[in-house]
Amino acid sequence: MTERVWSRQDIEDRVNVLRERYDGEAFADAVAEFSKELEPEEQEDLREILLERSREHAARNAALDDRIERGGWLRRTLGSTERTLRREQEKNRRRLR
């Protein structure tokens, strides 16, 4: 019986499935378990995939942080929501008096 050969796309697809099913430590454990099924070259592909995703995640978070700092749409939206909530609370206080 021959072992399965995993293409890079197959590995990416499996990582996606694991990401949907698990979070945090459970995800790390699932990836470690999956890694045991792979040949050394496939394990290298898995490492590269995980590194790329971690960089993308970090870049997205940095970009979001930058947008919040600079203001713009996100700040206006969040600020607008906060102002709306304050107005509603004030209206409710007046009604209760």
Share of the chain above pLDDT 70, in %: 77
Chain-centroid distance of CA 89 in Å reads 34
Cα diameter, the chain:
80
- Average pLDDT across the chain, whole number: 82
pLDDT of amino acid 1: 46
At 4-20, the pLDDT tens digits run 899 999 999 999 999 99
The single-letter code of the amino acid at 83 is R
pLDDT band at residue 55 under the 50/70/90 scheme: confident
For 25-70, the three-class secondary structure string (H helix, E strand, C coil) is: HHHHHHHHHHHCCCCHHHHHHHHHHHHHHHHHHHHHHHHHHHHHHH
Chain-centroid distance of CA 73 in Å reads 21
State if pTM tops 0.75.
no
